[in-house]
């Protein structure tokens, strides 16, 4: 399994070429890490392959606005796609479809051959995370599922290229936590296979749940325009960059360019959490990462704006079921 990338001047580069058909992988996790410093940009990729599932995530910073992609012996798969930062517009000339993702958006995609172009912002980091389920395995997992999966599975069964929805939805904190757990898995051997399988299925369930909720809540939306939705997303982006500060709702609504009512209720509608619930979860996830990197607990507590180490410890235990000291090891 692999992908070829071509820049605007016709030069091709191959990625992931040493990983074979993931449907035939042995009952263990095969890992491949790639790092390239190329004429069109810098690319870092991690591949995790296990039976019927292939995980790939990475970080790209491209000097060129447009890059050509082409598949290489890719098996049929259903892709859980998560755009973590940056944005992209992918045009697949093989099926005539376009895939546009902004930061912190997700969708589920089924395609076969890929031959097209990707457009990115120059020198802006684009981070993504994908889970590829082998087509037959996916259909067995979600067999006879009702609701939003019904039509999608029918198209997959008939080998028709499709998305779960024409609209991408926002990545929830639960999804972020699941992705983090996959990227930082420490278990080994056959237990790692089981762990990653369960986390990938959990991600699928979380995605379907968000689309089911969106379908049931669409009539009651408080956000009436794309401007208001973009404002709420801008508020979340601000929170992502200012974990050490806690703006008031009034301050955040000015940043978003919408009133407090729209911000408060629209945030809950788009992200399934409150403004300050999201900020709290984000700070704790960052704390977890810093603990793993070896930072002192008091330094983390101070940097993330907690009033005291005790307050930080209480919030951490409530969220993760263990103390910062035990997480630090």
> pTM of the predicted model, to two decimals?
0.71
pLDDT of residue 18: 44
Let me know: does 104 contact 83? Beta carbons within 8 Å.
Answer: yes
Helix or strand (DSSP H, E) at 237? helix 226-241
Phi, psi of 159 (to 5 degrees): 60, 45
pLDDT digit of tens for each residue in the chain (329 aa)?
Answer: 456 666 555 655 665 544 445 444 556 789 999 888 877 778 899 999 999 999 999 998 877 667 777 775 667 899 999 999 887 788 876 677 787 888 889 999 998 777 777 777 766 788 999 999 999 999 999 988 888 898 899 999 998 888 998 889 989 989 999 999 999 988 888 789 999 999 999 999 999 999 988 877 655 678 878 889 889 989 988 888 887 777 888 899 999 999 988 898 888 888 888 888 888 888 888 888 888 888 889 988 888 878 888 888 888 888 888 888 887 76
Residue indicated by tokens 């929170």? 239
Torsion, CA 242, CA 243, CA 244, CA 247, rounded to 10 = 60
* Exposure on the CB side of residue 318, measured as CA atoms within 13 A: 10
Let me know: does 222 contact 264? Beta carbons within 8 Å.
Answer: no
Class of domain 2-217: mainly beta
Compute how many other C-beta atoms are within 10 angstroms of the C-beta atom of residue 193: 19
Alpha-carbon distance of 88 to 190, in angstroms, equals 36
Determine if residue 188 is left, alpha or beta; phi over 0 gives left, psi from -120 to 50 gives alpha, anything else beta.
beta
Alpha-carbon distance of 40 to 134, in angstroms, equals 31
Alpha-carbon distance of 110 to 247, in angstroms, equals 41
pLDDT of residue 217: 66
Q: For residue 10, what are its two tokens? A: 């016709």
What's the full length of the chain, in residues?
329
Domain ranges of the chain: 2-217, 222-328
pLDDT of residue 218: 56
For residue 111, with 0-12 CB atoms within 10 Å meaning exposed, 13-18 middle and 19 or more buried, which class applies?
A: buried
Domain 222-328 annotated CATH 1.10.10.60: yes
Let me know: does 323 contact 316? Beta carbons within 8 Å.
Answer: yes
pLDDT of residue 190: 79
Angle 185-186-189 from CA coordinates, rounded to 5°: 100
């Amino acid at each position: 399994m692999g992908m070829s990338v071509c820049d605007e001047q016709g030069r091709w580069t191959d990625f992931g070429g040493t990983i074979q058909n993931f449907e035939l992988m042995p009952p263990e996790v095969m890992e491949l890490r790639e790092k390239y410093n190329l004429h069109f940009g810098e690319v870092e990729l991690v591949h995790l392959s296990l039976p019927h599932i292939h995980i790939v995530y990475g970080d790209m910073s491209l000097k060129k606005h447009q890059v050509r992609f082409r598949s290489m012996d890719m098996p049929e798969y259903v892709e859980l796609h998560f755009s973590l930062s940056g944005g992209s517009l992918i045009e697949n000339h093989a099926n005539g479809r376009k895939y546009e993702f902004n930061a912190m958006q997700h969708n589920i995609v089924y395609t076969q051959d890929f031959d097209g172009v990707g457009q990115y912002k120059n020198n802006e980091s684009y981070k993504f995370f994908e889970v590829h389920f082998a087509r037959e395995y996916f259909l067995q997992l979600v067999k006879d599922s009702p609701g939003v999966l019904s039509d999608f599975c029918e198209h997959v069964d008939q080998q028709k290229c499709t998305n779960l929805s024409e609209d991408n939805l926002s990545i929830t904190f639960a999804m972020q936590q699941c992705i983090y757990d996959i990227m930082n898995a420490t278990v080994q051997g056959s237990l790692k296979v089981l762990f990653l399988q369960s986390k990938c299925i959990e991600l699928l369930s979380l995605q379907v749940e968000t689309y089911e909720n969106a379908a049931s809540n669409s009539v009651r939306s408080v956000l009436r325009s794309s401007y208001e939705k973009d404002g709420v997303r801008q508020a979340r982006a601000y929170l992502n960059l200012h974990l050490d500060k806690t703006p008031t709702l009034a301050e955040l609504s000015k940043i978003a360019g919408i009133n407090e009512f729209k911000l408060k209720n629209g945030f809950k509608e788009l992200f399934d959490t409150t403004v300050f619930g999201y900020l709290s979860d984000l700070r704790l996830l960052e704390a977890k990462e810093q603990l793993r990197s070896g930072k002192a607990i008091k330094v983390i507590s101070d940097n993330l704006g907690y009033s005291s180490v005790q307050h930080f410890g209480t919030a951490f235990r409530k969220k993760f079921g263990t103390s910062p000291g035990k997480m630090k090891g």
